[in-house]
Structure 1
Amino acid sequence: MSSLLTRVKSKMSIFAHRKARGMLDGEYGSVFKGRSLDFDDLRAYIPGDEVRDIDWKASARHGSPLIKRYVAVRRQTVLLVTDTGRNMAASALGGEEKKDIAVMALGVVGYLAHRHGDVVGLVCGDGTSTRSLPAKAGEAHLERLLREVNDATALTSPRSDISEQLSYVARNFGQRMLLFVVADEVVPDAGMERLLRRLRAQHEVLWLTVRDAQLAGPDSAVPNSTGTQAAAAGPADRYDVADAGFLPGRLAASEAIIRAYAAAQEQRDAAREAVLRRMGIAHVHAGSSHDVMPAVFTLLERHRRGK
């Protein structure tokens, strides 16, 4: 059985060739407001660094800007919160299973936390039950968390409802921590908005939405109701895992259906974004595992800047 964490670390290594690792670590280190820090060393200034962190005397001696780097004095807690209902076993926009993207995103944030000496826990489940694994340190523990999410998510799982997991967190966790929520294209209702307001008052909250496959539009990597690709003779039939809805391929390819579907999706996206913005929760999308690293980087940067 291949290691899920090894896949995550490989993806992070590839990304580090394009973005300086220090920038990603720096964005993560800025998540906890007011965290206790001790001076560690100096490093070269990178565009996007805070000007207030420049050591002007050392920079003058060195001849180029140097940034003060700090280490956390006290350990923080990162709680990964995700949906393992049947929605997350469906196809994502890029053709992968949505759970593969969720595991990658959870792994990236979990591994960043591990590198910073923080402990990582997990809350996951579906619309009928929620379970949690306590926050601990170490790569073996993080692998266990990722394996739990991967193995629990299947098309035979109960329906998805991330509000159940958020409610569980609100009831059972009093310590201030970072909540990293990964879910599909849920649209928060009034009840979830109240729940998010309660959580945001106590915790730092980051949110990543995994993009659904397009049910209407040209054939892509979307499976039909049997889980296989459609024959080349005609458009693929589409199957909505969430409510067992079935859309014949000839209708999915209809211009009227495509326009209506796009309009409805735009409304859902706008509604989700509006709620999260009101709550002050940084939010990004990812449609494939290749999107995860830049999405996480953007998410941490938005959170730091309060956008």
Structure 2
Amino acid sequence: MPSLLRRVKSKIFIFAHRRTLALLDGEYGSVFKGRSLDFDELRTYVPGDEVRDIDWKATARHGSPLVKRYVAVRRQSVLLLVDTGRNMAARSLSGEAKKDIAVHAAGVLGYLACRHGDDVGLVHGNSAVSKYLPPRSGEEHLERLLREVDSGVSRDGQPSDIAKQLDYVLRYLKGRLLIVVLADEFVPDSTTESLMRRLHARHEVLWLTIRDAELAPQTGNQVPDSTDVGNGLAIPGPLAMDSKVRAAYATAMLERGKQRTAVFRRLGIAEEQTAGSDDVPGAVFSLLERHRSGATTARSAGKAGNRAR
């Protein structure tokens, strides 16, 4: 069976001629810049300790200065959280199966992690089940993860419900992770938004959305019916080509896009979209850059708030 990771790497190297792999590599590394230490414990302040390490809230409660102690982290854990419900068997905006784009995106991110010596894990599933493969290092392990995603999507499977996978992570996974969500294009409801907020509070979360196909794209002289893979409902081809129907669809999609953007902005989660596998390297670069910029802004705001107090 052909290697999925080899296929991903070949596309990365083609992309590298246009923007260079070093650029992607550097942007991935910058996400973790300055985060190589994990909190260990509080202890009493002694002369020579850094003033910036004083935990002022704990000091106020305790009555004497306390400082935070940290332990070095040799490698990071990256968790790929992938929707493998039947919605991902649908076509994307590029005409490819969304599943194939998810495999490619997971491969790009996993390969970058492997190059940096990080561990990569996977949570995937649908509305009925979630499956977890713990983080490990190495390309052989990454190949197994990609095959899990590839084989996990079927038109006969259960529908997508990314809230189930978000809830699984919150319930069962401990320790701070860098989580990259690969999901269908949808507008989070209040329950899903609440789960996203809680997940973002515990972990670093990045979100890559795979865009929906157009309404009944024309194939040659034929206009096929447009079917929603998730619920099985179909719009006859001739009706889907009606100008009023298409205008209403475009308006609805524009409104959904605004709602999605508002949710991610409200939560402070970096989100990027991709139309097809050729777009993935650029989308991953933009996503990492957006996440890094947002984290830098948040840290600056936090320092300003501390000075104001």
Q: For this structure pair, what is the TM-score category when the shorter chain's length is used for normalisation?
A: 0.7 to 0.9
Q: Does 1:238 align with 2:226?
A: yes
Q: Deviations over 1:143-170 (max 9, x none)?
A: 0000001011011110110110011011
2:271 paired residue number? 283
Q: Does 1:29 align with 2:29?
A: yes
SS of match in other structure, 2:88:
helix
Task: Read off the aligned partner of 1:83 and give its amino acid letter.
Answer: D
Q: Does 1:141 align with 2:141?
A: yes
Partner Cα separation in structure 2 for residue 22 and residue 289 of structure 1: 20
1:88 paired residue number? 88
Structure 2 unaligned segments of length 5 or more: list them. 38-71, 298-309
Match of 2:237 among 246, 249, 274: 249
Task: Read off the aligned partner of 1:215 and give its amino acid letter.
Answer: L
* TM superposition shift of 1:215: 2.1
* TM superposition shift of 1:33: 5.9
SS of match in other structure, 2:112:
helix
Task: Say how many residue pairs are matched.
Answer: 261
Partner Cα separation in structure 2 for residue 210 and residue 21 of structure 1: 22
Partner Cα separation in structure 1 for residue 284 and residue 204 of structure 2: 15
* TM superposition shift of 1:34: 3.3
1:6 paired residue number? 6
1:199 paired residue number? 199
Partner Cα separation in structure 2 for residue 235 and residue 270 of structure 1: 29
Q: How does 1:17-56 map to 2 (within 5 A)?
A: 17-32=17-32, 34-36=34-36
Instruction: Tell me, yes or no, if the aligned pair for 1:32 and 1:204 is still in contact at 8 Å.
Output: no
SS of match in other structure, 2:268:
coil
Task: Read off the aligned partner of 2:30 and give its amino acid letter.
Answer: S
TM-score normalised by length of structure 2: 0.81
1:274 paired residue number? 262
Structure 1 unaligned segments of length 5 or more: list them. 38-71, 221-230
2:102 paired residue number? 102
Instruction: Tell me, yes or no, if the aligned pair for 1:185 and 1:211 is still in contact at 8 Å.
Output: yes
Partner Cα separation in structure 2 for residue 278 and residue 144 of structure 1: 35
* TM superposition shift of 1:264: 0.9
Q: Deviations over 1:35-93 (max 9, x none)?
A: 229xxxxxxxxxxxxxxxxxxxxxxxxxxxxxxxxxx9620000000111110011111
Task: Read off the aligned partner of 2:268 and give its amino acid letter.
Answer: G
Task: Read off the aligned partner of 1:219 and give its amino acid letter.
Answer: Q
Of 171-180 and 72-81, the range deviating more from structure 2: 72-81
1:258 paired residue number? 246
Q: Check 1:144–1:175 CA distance in 2 against 1; reply closer, same or farther (3 A cut).
A: same
| Rg larger for | 2
Q: Deviations over 1:251-297 (max 9, x none)?
A: 11000110111111111111111111111111111111101010001
Partner Cα separation in structure 2 for residue 215 and residue 105 of structure 1: 24
Partner Cα separation in structure 2 for residue 157 and residue 31 of structure 1: 35
* TM superposition shift of 1:22: 2.3
SS of match in other structure, 2:13:
helix
Task: Read off the aligned partner of 1:99 and give its amino acid letter.
Answer: K
Partner Cα separation in structure 2 for residue 23 and residue 74 of structure 1: 23
* TM superposition shift of 1:197: 1.0
| Greater per-residue helix proportion | 2
Task: Read off the aligned partner of 2:177 and give its amino acid letter.
Answer: M
Partner Cα separation in structure 2 for residue 262 and residue 31 of structure 1: 36
SS of match in other structure, 1:121:
strand
Partner Cα separation in structure 2 for residue 237 and residue 195 of structure 1: 35
Task: Read off the aligned partner of 2:289 and give its amino acid letter.
Answer: E
Partner Cα separation in structure 2 for residue 123 and residue 36 of structure 1: 24
SS of match in other structure, 1:78:
strand
Partner Cα separation in structure 2 for residue 36 and residue 170 of structure 1: 23
Partner Cα separation in structure 1 for residue 74 and residue 262 of structure 2: 34
Q: Deviations over 1:227-252 (max 9, x none)?
A: xxxx73x4221111111111101111
SS of match in other structure, 1:17:
helix
Identity %, equivalent residues: 58
Task: Read off the aligned partner of 1:8 and give its amino acid letter.
Answer: V
TM-score normalised by length of structure 1: 0.82
Task: Read off the aligned partner of 1:6 and give its amino acid letter.
Answer: R
